[in-house]
Amino acid sequence: MSTTIKASYTVIPAEASPNTPLWLSPSDQVARWSHTSTIYVYKETPNHHAIDTMRDSLSKILVHYYPLAGRLSWIEGHRLQLNCNGKGVVLIEAESTKTLSSYGDFAPSDTVKMDLTPTVDYTQPIEDLPLLLVQLTRFKGTKQGLVIGMAFNHVLGDGLAAIRFINSWAKLCKGDVALDHSEMFPFLDRTVLNSSTRPCFDHPELKPLPLLLGSTNTVAEQKHEKTAVVLKLTNEQVQKLKQKANNGLEESSARPYSTYEVVSAHVWKCATKARGLDDVQPTVVRVSADIRSRLNPPLPRNYFGNALAVALTPTCFARDVLLNPLRYGARKIREAVELLKDDYVRSQLDFIRCQERLDSIRASYLDRGEAKNAPFYGNPNLTIVSWMSMPVYEADFGWGKPVRFGPGAVYPDGKAYIIRSSDGDGSLDVSVHLQMRHMELFMKFFYQDI
């Protein structure tokens, strides 16, 4: 292993915080209880006192984000409780014998995860697992940049909640804002998502997805080795895809397809082709959306928790995805996104709340991407997530903004993330996680079909 741990600190809130359980919403309850790994890559190298500044500012920001310093526990055998007990988060200082450039484009891999993100020991009881671990890794040489790796327990919150916390911490670390600034304070009352009504929609997105023809379960598909790539789309390539999908719409009143709809349709078509699916193989895409502004009344913008809802495209045959123009897939993606209005989202939350057990709908895979009593969303299906609107490049701790951000681990088959490039020129980084046997063809089609 090329990375050596130089120091590890348990950081607790700088002031006494509430010692009480925090109610978890249905959206929190079905989030996986393992950690999401992400990495921030910086070209600049701070002085060696940076870790002390990070510790001090982390302790101060935890006064307001005190749930991060808590621990989870199981109640009723299958539901989770967040105990705000102030046990603290973990901050690690590490040193690598490698250079920053040796990691190439930092595509998720076992090496990236092992070297650059904190290791979470899942053999511990859940009551002992820190909910946030942060690793600062310096590289060989005096000015070789650094990587901050985050392991953030998904029950605590969604991507936007995590990013808001990290950006607030970074601003405090840099000295940009005072602690009384409104951005520093999260909205922690998750009971705004509580209800006592019955679901009024069917919610196929929370039920088993189409299986490969001839299969009765997903066991064989889950056993295939997974890999991940980061594929760059220049602004010119993005515009070319959008032009292809929107060709002919100019003369109608139809709203042009968005970047997310078009790029997702392109990923769907390329994956369907690379997987070699039968013509009549049913396939769907799961989409997820931030519901903060989709509810009526809307949630506070600084709501700290999981404010996500998922929806499915209509079930399509592989031949229709492949043989129709790109706008076919884009239209199906749009139909899924448009489901996520106030009534549907609240019904989904009620559907989750009414389940006797959550095992069949909770995404609880471990970071290596191995399913653990969890639903399978891979071949012949996909889950495509947009991180395009998240302010991921604002995490300036005092040594400049990150030059790259993305997942730090290989996730299960069929997952894709669309991320704005740090260049700010309209280009995108598309992080795609597929079975290894399909990836080479996928990469070929991804650029060939633009």
| Positions marked active-site | 154, 396
Cα separation, 190 vs 324, in Å, equals: 43
Q: Residue 252 and residue 275: Cα distance in Å, rounded?
A: 35
HSE-up of residue 131 (Cα within 13 Å, Cβ side): 27
What amino acid occupies position 258? Answer: S
Helix (H) and strand (E) counts in the chain: 11, 17
Paired residues of 286 in beta bridges: 312, 383
Of 104, 140, 192, 164, residue with least CA distance to 4: 140
Please check whether residue 427 is in contact with residue 434, taking contact to mean a CB–CB distance below 8 angstroms: no
Residue with the two structure tokens 């309850």: 29
Alpha carbons 148 and 39: distance in angstroms, whole number: 6
Spatial distance between the Cα atoms of 44 and 398, rounded to a whole number of angstroms? 10
Please give the Cα distance from 67 to 87 (Å, whole number): 10
Amino acid at 130: P
